Amino acid sequence: MVDLKVMPYNLDDAGVKWVKDTIANMTIEEKIGQLFVNMGSSRDEEYLKSMVNNYHIGAVRYNPGKAEEVYDQNKILQENSKIPLLIAANTEAGGNGACTDGTYVGVEVKIAATNDKKYAYEMGRVSGVEAAAIGCNWSFAPIVDIDRNWRNPIISSRTFGADADTVLECALEYMKGIQESGIAPAAKHFPGDGIDERDQHLSFAPNSLSVEEWDKTFGKIYSGLIEAGLPSIMAGHIALPEYVSHFNPDATLKERQLPATLNKYILTDLLRGKLNFNGVVVTDASHMLGMTSTMKRRDILPTAIAAGCDLFLFFNDPDEDFNWMMEGYKNGVITEERLEEALTRILGLKASLGLHKKAKTEILPPKEEAMAKIGLPENKVVAEEVADKAITLVKNNENIFPISVEKSKRILLVGVKGTEGGFGKFLALMGGAKKTPVDIMKEMLEAEGFEVTIWESPIDKIAKLPVEEQREAMGNIYAAKRPIADLTDNYDLIINIADVNPNTDQRIQWPASKGTPDIPFYIHEVPTIFVSVQCPFHLADVPQVQTYINAYDNKEVTLKALVDKMLGRSEFKGVSPVDAFCGFEDTRY
């Protein structure tokens, strides 16, 4: 059984006793309920009370909201739950993952591009201060995937890079920073994303590394974190077929391709056995296709626990899922021993956070004190420093910098897009309507004295026409082509800005009107700068450009730092933590 006196729990006798006594006094319904992490769909008090009282949930991850709203929600949850709750946030990039008015520090690849591990610590520290203030005690971070496939859309910027040592170093610093505020980090996504090019939200996406390759990369990272006392891990819906065959040479194709969340060879034999992980394992979200398409949902629920997961992330339908988990226990898929083990780990984590020592009304700090910790100016300065040190001049074949009003007064800004819709559009909608990076850049450059024009593509113009006129206009799309002189006589500089959200892929999607400024064909006609503000791998689609910059995100603080660098007020300091040339020779040309 679980030893609660050693890492990562380090409980004293009183803590161990609380765990054992609590389990002994739980009904079977309460035990089954502890296995669930609810995705809060409402902050209504009646709803929150019903989730803790009717389903006895062990943990929560909630929809984003303002700090005050989240604080009130978490207070209701803790004060009405019989057993203290784990309340998680996705603080992958800072405190903004805990509340919408929290402090954004930077995505993982941007942090790594500073080439200074202290910013990984700062990201963890800021995340911890702000998340803990509003009642969070658990974080689904750091992300410790390794970006070895430039086509992978889901972690292109959500990784500390392609080098295992860098990822481990940054993850350890993040863990140190967030734990200072009493928050348990959950490293993800075990056994490791970034090898396949697909997204397990939408498809199977296995990790195809050999046993030896995995041990040298992901194995090294997870071993290092476990040795440092990592309290929890999020298992991904990611298969690790070579390791399955290592443990069972006669494994079937289905067994080899079963995702880690449902695979006993990966969670029990590899993670618990070989890596000696003693902490809590939570599944990734259970609505992702990498899990949902493997078997019937009624089988998925108990199979995940039987395989070695302690917590199941998100109900689909609470009544259905609760009953199916109970059914799995009654029919022996979840053994008494496995249930006891999972509960011991869950409650052990809660006790390691000191939740068992506090009265329900004292788990959250006083509200006024809590709100004073959100969005502090000194924390926002960290984001400015990261932006300054991270922006990377990947390709500089024509020494175009610094730009100036004297040399390049007339600028054409061209927005470059990806596929509309999908997960990226969802993220954009969650963020609300905002100015585009092109709009922000126009304002900033005009403030410097430049004359700036934003290119409107023929496709965008046609979309504004009445439906009956669109077909005829599309038929004349190539009439949009113009003399090269229309560019060379009117513009001194062209800046392409690619702001491409993740989707099934994160590639640039060119419009049908080839030969217009949408596509940078004119690199030998007008000086051209190409900037990517999300994906660090766009050189694969624009190998011809001679000046290419990775800014890593589209935040205003980043764009301001970018303008300073283009004008020569600041040096380009970033060091790419991934292969921005995407393994191609032509991208360097």
The 3-state DSSP class for residue 87 equals: strand
| Nearest by Cα to 109 from 157, 60, 63 | 157
SS3 for 293-308 is CCCCHHHHHHHHHHHC
- Please confirm whether the linkage preceding 527 is cis (ω < 30° from 0): no
Distance CA 575, CA 554 (A): 18
Take residue 201 and report the two structure tokens written for it. Answer: 């939200």
Instruction: Identify the CA nearest to 207 among candidates 218, 193, 227, 221.
Output: 193
Q: Give the separation between CA 380 and CA 105, rounded to whole angstroms.
A: 7
Q: Two tokens at 65?
A: 């909201």
At residue 138, what is the residue type? W
- Integer CA distances (angstroms), 442 to 435, 445, 497, 503, in order: 11, 5, 11, 27
Please, what is the angle between helix 318-330 and helix 297-307, to 10°? 60
List phi, psi (to 5°) of 553: -155, 170
Amino acid in the structure at residue 384: E
Q: Which two tokens stand for residue 46?
A: 């009646």
DSSP state string for 119-133: HHHHHHHHHHHHHHH
Q: Residues near 161 by Cβ (< 8 Å), separated by ≥ 6? A: 108, 109, 112, 146, 147, 167, 577, 578
- Packing angle, helices 118-133 and 67-80, rounded to 10: 60
Q: Is 101 a catalytic residue?
A: no
Which residue in 284, 505, 553, 564 is the catalytic one? 284
**What distances in angstroms separate CA 392 from CA 110, 147, 426, 587, one per listed residue?**
9, 17, 28, 16
Distance from the first to the final alpha carbon of the chain: 59
**191 prior amide bond cis, ω within 30:** yes
Stated length of the chain: 589
Active site residues: 284
